[in-house]
Structure 1
Amino acid sequence: MKNVRKIHLPIHFKDLLLMTVGVIMAGFALESFLVPNKFFDGGVSGISLLIHEIYHVPLPVVLVIANLPFIVMSSYVINKEFAVKMFVCVVLLGVCFAYFPYPKVIVDKPLVSVFGGFFLGVGIGLTIRAGSVLDGIEVLGMYTGKRSSFSVTEIVFAINVIIFLIAALKFGIQTSLYSMLTYFTASKTVDYVVEGIEEYTGVTIISSRSEIVKDKLVNELGRGITVYKGERGYLPGNFEVHNDTDIIFTVITRLEMRKLKNLLHDIDPNAFIFANTIKEASGGILRRRSRH
């Protein structure tokens, strides 16, 4: 039987496909959920929605114009390819608003805020996986962060606080609170879409039965391990007692965490374990992920 060759789509085509689907989803969230119910998001999208509601300027026009300075800025802060992709996303979003027949969803407000945030997060996450963004606020944060003592997160947070305060003053505290829920839901959804449900976790294990632990991690879980040489002991009241020990480090997915804990409990209930989330991991014995 002949080997069937796997067809690989060109990277730029896959990026365009992800960007298109992401923009359509984000447009659905904005036009079907947020705009009909006068809810807001953070960032440039939130500013655009505020201008649209207060001054009745067409939303596609506001979104494109508001993002243009950040598109130009991104060509210097990041690179020109990123700027081009961002420009394509913003223009596609404006086209979707103008020509896509999105239905208007006006239901229970908590449902609107949660599902509006969910669809918006999916859309934003897909564009990020394609190497772009739908909102220029992160670019502003990066640009400003290089020229001040504030981090990108602090700058973005401050801008979003101002957006939700204006929303509270103009449209009431209830609208502002629901908008914050929308933003929170969108942010968490973006994390899942970009990082994937199998987000990597780095686990450090210190056990008196380290040889058995190493064997189980490699031969049962199929994980690669790194072993550091250290010392354990130095306890209060018994400081002089200490001995050499192996410090084991491995990388697993969050879905494997419970299995690892059960395995370690069976081997050594007193084993010391701590874990940290890893944003990026490559090489070694890791499951291959699709490009993003």
Structure 2
Amino acid sequence: MHTTNKNEIGFSRVINFKSILLKILGVLAATIAIKGFMIPNHFLDGGLLGIAILIHEFYHIDVWIPLLLLNLPFVIISFKKIDKSFALHSLLALILLGTYLYVLPIPEITKDHFLVAAFGGVFVGLGIGFVIRSGGVIDGLEVIAEFTNKKFGLTTSEIIMAINTIVFLIIAFFLGLEKAMYSIITFFTAIKVSDYVVDGFEKLICLTIISPNDQVIKDIIVNKFDKPITVYKGQRGNLPGSFTISHDCDIVATVVTRLEVHNIKKAIAHADPKAFMFVQNINEVKGGLVSRESHH
């Protein structure tokens, strides 16, 4: 019987057609952002991309050179500390990005500062998002965040925000406050777009229901929609005007995707119009029946 080792699995994931296609789309979008919007208008982004463009502004070095050199140590870190397959995906994406930046003649798309900041961010976000979905990254800050998240428990957003605050302060000092403010617009646009590309309609949310008809609610979620549930023992009642009145009940919670939640809420409301429901966004899910395959 043939045994597949981790290196074979990692290599097969790198040459997977879907991952290659996502990398090509992501790298193309990032190249359009860098050469079509940002560099011609002397705009910057956060992260190592922003630092690479800053080096390009000061020393007139082709931007792909500092971008690759800055990211290479973090690829090595991810190979040793995080995941070999993830590192190989990232290295391939960076090589593609460097090649695209070197060979593709992207013309300047607009000079309008707001459009440059907004759509530069959109294309950067598309680039980052598609590459993450392919299993890698094109910005080493993601590697720092991933490693620090595992070691210290800080969220990826907290780590990236702290590092980028320093980057934006440097931009403000050397290039002026206006450039820094436009860079912040680009950065936040890129974050929102990349988050949507990565999670999209598959983003998981927690739906919690409090109802006197808790058995009916459980039956709808588990048997009609085939979703697992978690049940908390609680109380309902204690309302204004009848504060002392309360009743024991089961509080039902389930984790579903953005596409599924509407139909589940509709079915519950039909069965019990007075059921109390609320939803919460979930940043991370591990274990259980709702875990999705990691993008890495």
* TM superposition score category, shorter chain reference: 0.7 to 0.9
Partner deviation per Cα, 1:140-182 (whole Å, 9 max, x = no partner): 2344566768655433222211111121222222221111111
Paired residue for 2:52, among 48, 54, 58?
Answer: 48
For the residues of structure 2 that align with 1:148 and 1:247, how far apart are their CA atoms?
33
CA contact (8 A) 1:229 1:244 kept: no
Change (3 A) 1:219 1:94: same
- Tell me the residue number matched to 2:231: 228
For the residues of structure 1 that align with 2:67 and 2:290, how far apart are their CA atoms?
44
Paired residue for 2:99, among 71, 84, 95?
Answer: 95
Paired residue for 1:19, among 15, 19, 23?
Answer: 23
Q: Which amino acid aligns with 1:154?
A: E
Counterparts in 2 of 1:236-255, with a 5 A limit?
242-255=246-259
CA contact (8 A) 2:218 2:229 kept: no
- Tell me the residue number matched to 1:172: 176
Change (3 A) 1:227 1:99: closer
Unmatched runs of 5 consecutive residues or more in structure 1: 1-9
Unmatched runs of 5 consecutive residues or more in structure 2: 1-11
Alpha-carbon offset, residue 106 of structure 1: 2.2
CA contact (8 A) 2:26 2:128 kept: yes
TM-score, normalised by the number of residues in structure 2: 0.81
Q: For structure 1, which segment, 151-160 or 185-194, has the greater mean C-alpha deviation from structure 2 after superposition?
A: 151-160
Q: Does 1:118 align with 2:100?
A: no
Q: Name the SS of the counterpart of 1:248 in structure 2.
A: strand
Change (3 A) 1:281 1:263: farther
Across the aligned residues of Structure 1 and Structure 2, the Cα RMSD in angstroms comes to 3.1
Change (3 A) 1:225 1:115: same
CA contact (8 A) 1:38 1:53 kept: yes
Partner deviation per Cα, 1:264-291 (whole Å, 9 max, x = no partner): 44544543323222344787589x9997
Q: Does 1:80 align with 2:69?
A: no
- Tell me the residue number matched to 2:187: 183
Change (3 A) 1:255 1:151: closer
CA contact (8 A) 1:227 1:246 kept: no
For the residues of structure 1 that align with 2:201 and 2:218, how far apart are their CA atoms?
26
Q: Name the SS of the counterpart of 2:202 in structure 1.
A: coil
CA contact (8 A) 2:235 2:246 kept: yes
Change (3 A) 1:27 1:274: same
Q: Does 1:200 align with 2:204?
A: yes
CA contact (8 A) 1:77 1:139 kept: no
Change (3 A) 1:84 1:261: closer
Q: What number of residue pairs does the alignment pair up?
A: 281
Change (3 A) 1:197 1:229: closer
Structure with greater helix percent: 2
Alpha-carbon offset, residue 217 of structure 1: 3.9
CA contact (8 A) 2:121 2:190 kept: yes
CA contact (8 A) 1:223 1:285 kept: no
Change (3 A) 1:250 1:224: same
For the residues of structure 1 that align with 2:232 and 2:64, how far apart are their CA atoms?
59
Q: For structure 1, which segment, 74-83 or 233-242, has the greater mean C-alpha deviation from structure 2 after superposition?
A: 233-242
Partner deviation per Cα, 1:167-225 (whole Å, 9 max, x = no partner): 122222222111111111111111111112232212111101223434444566x2424
Q: For structure 1, which segment, 162-171 or 242-251, has the greater mean C-alpha deviation from structure 2 after superposition?
A: 242-251
- Tell me the residue number matched to 1:6: none
Q: Name the SS of the counterpart of 2:201 in structure 1.
A: coil
Q: Name the SS of the counterpart of 1:38 in structure 2.
A: coil
For the residues of structure 2 that align with 1:147 and 1:48, how far apart are their CA atoms?
27
Aligned identity (percent) is 40
Change (3 A) 1:107 1:87: same
Alpha-carbon offset, residue 99 of structure 1: 0.6
CA contact (8 A) 1:223 1:251 kept: no
Alpha-carbon offset, residue 35 of structure 1: 0.9
Q: For structure 1, which segment, 261-270 or 143-152, has the greater mean C-alpha deviation from structure 2 after superposition?
A: 143-152
For the residues of structure 2 that align with 1:36 and 1:87, how far apart are their CA atoms?
27
